[in-house]
Structure 1
């Protein structure tokens, strides 16, 4: 009996010690995920001295900044970027392999978030039936809702449909995107709900888009002070319809009619301001951060991408866009402080891709750069297959730097796709502008652990991708000679910001290489929830308290 009594006493004494080791989950009331479409990391450093104290500088000063953050896949485009940030994996895992891609089963091009089983809500425009159907993996936002038995709320928003649909995941309470033309309002689809919430309808009825749409886009500060960008009048930038020169001021009121009316709003910094106003309305209308469970607000600023495509990263338009976005970020942080509380929210800021300087501008500086002529390349492929196999219709589609064979035609001719691919690769590698070319078989049977082919492999999806994958030369794109684009695995497209800020986040910075797919597992760990089901990233523990 004495032994039993002694054991009982020791056991009771041990209970408090055990309870002290149990982790208490102390989640923020609200998580805010910000993606800036087409933001290079060096926009933080180039324009640093021009920023105010309460926007980007505050995030850098009070948050944790990863200075060497990169995408680890191609193509670096909007849909894949948003999907990768929120799933913690690349296209090989989540199934979004481009903005639009060739479906070799349906034998046609498809768009990443189209789903015609649902209807658009809030618009009379066609082709707005959207859903996350093609996203194969769960997202950070899905896992947060699942972990709380669906009691927290997720709201996602962007000017582009794909920028709202993919971050919201499969369980979003509402993903909203902006339609232009003559409508100028935020909409959604019946995938999420049967009718628009009152706060969204009121926002649209109040004409906020018209209120933030200025008559003229002039520089925020005297243009002579914009010394981080090239001359305003230069031959490397695009033009709005009705303009003769790509220079300030851009007379938006006069240009609206010929440039899609409210679509022009998206191509100016005022699109960012509109999104801030919509985010504030969402926080109020959905009572985000006010309940017993953690809510999520996903925001995607699309205007920098549209502006960057037209003018390039060295333009005064981009410099002005980021000086204005800095003020918008400060406005959002101030609103969160007042309405959620500084200690009640956690925020991360990143980008879906970066961008290449205009190749024609690089060429003027004697830096190797150029343009890839896809129609000419298609003719070359037809001539090549006719020469090798006596047929010029073996290729069904060429898109996203991938070649898809007509498998029916190959079968009729008694040809094996893998052998034809291997033979064509031997020839294509000699084509001007091509840096590397590999077959589907190589992608499936070889492990590339570094370099550009490692990026290609991470973006390659065995079921969805093509029979041949090409890599253009550095600084080589396929668009017109004014403006620029993105999509490669080179550093100018992969190097972007990753900043964590708020509750549970340390102050500091790191120069070690990290990857965009690390955001979702890091946030999952902070929230103490299950990681997205296909994640391949790692927890950036140095940023967490």
Structure 2
């Protein structure tokens, strides 16, 4: 058969286009994406406790997947609500609007909770603890985008002991989010935002998996003498439980239960994570996740690590034992995924919503600068300044989350300029003990910062919701009791968190290149071939994707 030059050229072009189309054809999608958040997990928990971990949990993710060793939060404040929102939206409080766990609402003149919603009702309890939804989250999550992409056929289920840890990740279009109602009930609940009654499998779990079985003795998994990676069990830096004289192992949870909030005591023990793992495994089966070629999303937040860190501190035997036991729970969870969904049919990432500072009293004992803020002294001095300078005691409406909210109506009525009042407060507070930086809302809105604490503040500053003045304390100076740890700052002890990927579509390797928490959602979106969340500012981590 003879071909003209034109015909041959046409055939070559057709073949070239076909090859190009084949190269650009989207790769197969995982049947299930599992996002795991370990509340208050510092990056160094991976390395400090490494020799205590088995091969099926954290090490499986590191050995089979990709480890981003220099992963950080890129905004302030590093709290639970903003952290969970940022992981799944790929953006910061500046855009998604979750500026704290609670914040002062300048419109209604009262404090609001990030997930609180009085327009919905509790499901599974008569308490108000079920009146929750994501309505204050302003942007979409990658789970929302997956739902849109799949014409609402791909499921999204959120699970956490904390309501905000279940709700923020799952997003606006979730099929369900479940959280734990402790006190005298000890069961999993939801809200009418998602459903009018609990599914059969949740009712069965609540009935058949009585949480009483977790109220057992909490002792160390291994001989406590081998826990060389943490401080002495008996020390001056831990809180402990009511009804027990010392914060030392073992803890008889069934005995301590009534003095510590009933079933709420489980939240502050390693067994709270076991409860979450068991419920997540039940959700896999109950919701038939990952059983077809339409990608589902399961978000799981292990909350007990946060409660334990707040109570006992980041250097405690309790924290070490909690992570050893969490490693076992992760192994069980991954085995369930293997059995239910199939190896290489699912993709998992694991990170944290923030990290935490070492107990300042402990840091002081080893001669590291640290301490506690005297808020009462500061308040007295500041009030006197306001009276003397402006001849008014009611120009401040609220002080919360290291922010000052001014009474703008009063300032206007007095003929004062808002910017002048803000700057006067900035110049006053910067001279106070252990105040490192102070910035006004005007500065946040008119000056672009590209690095340092200032850039982190700006990414966490929401013009509509944030305050008039923002205060940054010295490193390791906190407003907190002298036992236990906390978080919220832009210092590395709060921003440096793990980021592990493994499973379908994930390369094997590691990097010390800096990555940011807002890169996670774009990376998963790129893996799925879906639209990025609508407020995303992060970039896909190409080296993570296989």
Could you say which TM-score interval applies, normalised by the shorter chain? over 0.9
Name 2:262's counterpart in structure 1: 261
Query: Over residues 378-412 of structure 1, what are the superposed CA-to-partner deviations in whole Å (9 max), with x where a residue is unaligned?
Result: 22221111111111221111100000111122122
Cα distance in 2, alignment partners of residues 493 and 541 from structure 1: 26
Q: For residue 510 of structure 1, give the secondary structure of its aligned residue in structure 2.
A: strand
Alignment of 1:445-456 (within 5 A): 445-456=446-457
Counterparts of 2:14 and 2:162, CA distance in 1 = 59
User: 1:214: how far off?
Assistant: 3.5
- State how 1:44-55 maps to structure 2 within 5 Å: 44-55=46-57
SS in 1 for 2:294: coil
**What is the DSSP-based 3-state SS (H/G/I as helix, E as strand, rest coil) of the residue aligned with 1:511?**
strand
Q: CA separation in 1, counterparts of 2:66 and 2:300? A: 20
Classify 1:448/1:5 alpha carbon distance in 2 versus 1 (closer, same or farther; 3 Å).
closer
Shift of 1:25: 3.4
> How many Å separate the matches in 1 of 2:408 and 2:21?
63
CA distance in structure 2 between the aligned counterparts of 1:143 and 1:374, rounded to whole angstroms: 44
Task: Summarize deviations over 1:22-46 as a string: whole Å, max 9, x none.
Answer: 3133100000000000000000000
Q: Of the candidates 33, 36, 44, which is equivalent to residue 35 of structure 2?
A: 33
Which residue in the other structure is 2:302 paired with? Answer: 301
Cα separation, 2, equivalents of 1:421 and 1:189: 41
| Mapping of residues 103-122 of structure 1, within 5 Å | 103-122=105-124
Contact (CA 8 Å) 1:88, 1:536: kept in 2 or not? Answer: yes
Q: Classify the secondary structure of the residue corresponding to 2:425.
A: helix
Once residues 16 and 473 of structure 1 are traced to their aligned partners in structure 2, the CA distance between those partners, rounded to angstroms, is: 61
Q: 1:14: how far off?
A: 5.1
Contact 1:208 1:274 survives alignment (8 Å): no
Within the candidate set 160, 163, 167, 2:162 is matched to 160
Q: 1:513: Cα distance to partner? A: 0.8
Provide the alpha-carbon RMSD of the alignment: 1.4
Q: Name the residue aligned to 2:173.
A: 171
Q: In the alignment, what sits opposite 2:421?
A: 420
Task: Calculate the TM-score normalised by the size of structure 2.
Answer: 0.97
Cα deviation for residue 207 of structure 1 reads: 3.3
Contact 2:373 2:434 in 1 (8 A): yes
Distance 2:33 2:12 in 1: 43
1:143 aligns with 2:145: yes
Where 1:256 maps in the other structure, the secondary structure is helix
CA distance in 2, matches of 1:261, 1:404: 37
Q: Distance in 2 between matches of 1:511 and 1:162?
A: 31
Match for residue 380 of structure 2? Answer: 379
Q: CA deviation at 1:374?
A: 2.7
Aligned match of 2:526:
525
Q: CA deviation at 1:376?
A: 3.0
Q: Deviations over 1:203-256 (max 9, x none)?
A: 111134222x13211111111111111111111100211111111111211100
* Correspondence 1:101 to 2:122: no
Contact 1:272 1:328 in 2 (8 A): yes
What secondary structure, in the 3-state scheme, does the structure 1 residue paired with 2:483 have?
coil
* CA separation of 1:473 and 1:19: change in aligned 2, threshold 3 A: closer
Residues 27, 294 of structure 1: 8 Å contact kept: yes
The 3-state SS of whatever aligns with 1:35 is: strand
TM-score (norm 1): 0.98
The aligned runs of 1:174-213 (5 Å cut-off) are 174-211=176-213, 213=214
Equivalent pair of 1:382/1:393 in contact (CA under 8 Å): no
Q: Deviations over 1:159-187 (max 9, x none)?
A: 00000010010000000000100111111
Q: Distance in 2 between matches of 1:310 and 1:262?
A: 17
1:354 maps to 355
State which drifts further: 375-384 or 37-46.
375-384
Q: For 1:399 and 1:541, how far apart are their aligned partners in 2?
A: 39
Number of corresponding residues: 544
Cα distance in 2 between the residues matched to 1:517 and 1:376: 38
Q: 1:4 to 1:471 in 2, by over 3 A?
A: same
Match of 2:275 in 1: 274
CA distance, structure 1, for counterparts of residue 315 and residue 449 of structure 2 = 34
Match of 2:132 in 1: 130
**2:156–2:176 contact (8 Å) kept in structure 1:** yes
Query: Whole-Å Cα distance in 2 between the matches of residues 311 and 74 of structure 1?
Result: 24
Report the equivalent of 2:69: 67
Q: In the aligned structure 2, how far is the partner of 1:100 from the partner of 1:538?
A: 29
1:337-352 to structure 2, matched below 5 A, reads 337-352=338-353
Following superposition, the deviation at residue 158 of structure 1 comes to: 0.2
- Unaligned 5+ runs, structure 1: none
CA distance in 2, matches of 1:172, 1:16: 38
- Work out whether residues 88 and 516 of structure 1, in 8 Å CA contact, stay in contact via their aligned partners in 2: yes
* Inter-partner Cα distance in structure 1 for 2:167 and 2:180: 12
